Amino acid sequence: MESLKEKILQLKKEKNAVILAHYYQQPEIQEIADYVGDSLGLSQEAKKVNADIIVFAGVHFMAETAKLLNPKKKVLLPDLEAGCSLAESCPPDIFKKFIDAHPHHIVITYVNCSAEIKALSHIVCTSSNAEKIVNSVPENIPIIFAPDKNLGNYINQKTGRKMLLWDGSCVVHEAFSLEKLIALYKEHPDAGIIAHPESENRILETASYIGSTSGMIDFVKRSPKTKFIVATEAGILYKMQEAVPDKILIPAPALEDNTCACSECAYMKLNTLRKVYDCLLHESPEIKVPKKIADKAIIPIQRMLELSK
């Protein structure tokens, strides 16, 4: 009998579809994806797509970004409930009032936000290009940075800017326990701690490398160290371990004890192989963005892609 994976690959061929997946997806989804990457890589890849259908194995804002870059293609998200705490922390009507109260500020938004928020922004950024994007704005121009206060605070420290920060955060990266991390490090003093900049400052202060998911994978590859404590969503361990099969990777511990003794994104994990198959079969759920919003939201994304070349 044909396995679900074989059926997906067959259907993908028949329908001229591609599967783009984020590193936080379940390993079996990453295995059948045409491309696995971080948010910037996924946007760059979405821009190049030749297929008729994009199955986006990630969360809603990622699929929406792919749709904005491919308005004529069908973009499918296996589970429409796959949201993001950062995107939810920034309601467009309240954000609009905030911007209106600071009319001289440039608005830089982290890609983890809705198309409505992107439509209100000057430039979008991801965790791998945030510093470069912020530095592209002349120093005398004040900046609003939204929605991630942790990434914003980290970039403020790196650049010496005093960006006005929106009070949003990622529940997955705020779940790490500093006390447990220190205890773990005491057990493994030879390990390097690496962290995603969505983590809180007290976690970032312990890290010898801070970067996006792709940045973290590149770092463990080139570092002479052979053991790492990894402070980001645990899904990254699949590709990271593939990249460094002989190194030891330990997920950073979360505050609450849970089954994986790590931090997992419940939104990312809503996608399953079965849902990937069903969405491709029925070509639903489909991501649609109203033209009025899409026409504005694409501009700051294009600016980011230009600045990231």
Tokens 């922004």 — which residue?
Answer: 121
Chain mean position to CA 295: 23
Cβ atoms of 106 and 135 within 8 Å: the answer is no
187 half-sphere exposure, CB direction, 13 A CA radius: 9
* Residue 267 interacts with which of ligand SF4, ligand 13P, none, CB < 5 to 8 Å by class: ligand SF4
Are the C-beta atoms of 143 and 105 separated by less than 8 Å? Answer: yes
Does 142 sit behind a cis peptide bond, omega within 30 degrees of 0 on the bond before it? Answer: no
Tell which phi-psi region holds residue 220, choosing left (phi > 0), alpha (psi between -120 and 50) or beta: alpha
Q: For ligand 13P, what does the binding mask look like between residues 21 and 60, x meaning CB under 6 A?
A: --x--------------xx---------------------
Give rounded-to-5 percent helix, strand, coil for the chain: 45, 15, 40
Name which of ligand SF4, ligand 13P, none residue 38 binds, using a CB cut-off of 5 to 8 Å depending on partner kind.
ligand 13P
Report the site for ligand 13P in 184-213 (rule: CB under 6 A): 196, 198, 212-213
For residue 106, give the amino acid letter. Answer: I
Of positions 109, 127, 129, 156, contacts ligand 13P by CB under 6 A: 127
Q: Which helix (DSSP H) or strand (DSSP E) does residue 145 occupy?
A: strand 143-146
Shortest distance in whole angstroms from residue 170 CB to ligand 13P: 6
Interface residue with ligand 13P, options 30, 65, 70, 112 (CB under 6 A): 112
Instruction: Tell me which stretch binds ligand SF4 (CB under 6 A): 10-18, 165-173, 223-231, 298-306.
Output: 165-173
Closest to ligand 13P by CB, 112 or 169: 112
Give least dist CB 160 to ligand SF4, A: 26
Tokens representing residue 150 in the block? 């942790």
Beta-bridged to residue 210, according to DSSP, are 195
Residues in 141-170 that interact with ligand 13P by CB under 6 A: 170
**String marking each residue 261-290 x if it binds ligand SF4 according to CB under 6 A:** ----x-xx----------------------
264 makes contact, choosing from ligand 13P, ligand SF4, none, with CB < 5 to 8 Å by partner type, with none
Helix 39-48 / helix 291-307 crossing angle, nearest 10 deg: 110
Q: For the chain, give me the number of helices (H) and strands (E)?
A: 15, 12
Name residue 35's beta-bridge partners. Answer: 20
227 has which bridge partners? Answer: 248
**Is residue 233 near ligand SF4 by the rule CB under 6 A?**
yes
| Residue 126 binding partner per list ligand 13P, ligand SF4, none, with a CB distance cut-off of 5 to 8 Å that depends on partner kind | ligand 13P
Q: Cα(117)–Cα(90) distance, rounded to whole angstroms?
A: 8
* From the list ligand SF4, ligand 13P, none, partner contacted by residue 127 (C-beta under 5 to 8 A by kind): ligand 13P
What minimum distance in Å lies between the beta carbon of 12 and ligand 13P?
23
Residue 45 binds: one of ligand SF4, ligand 13P, none (C-beta under 5 to 8 A by kind): none
Which residues of the chain form contacts with ligand SF4 (CB under 6 A)? 24, 59, 84-86, 112, 170-172, 198, 233, 265, 267-268
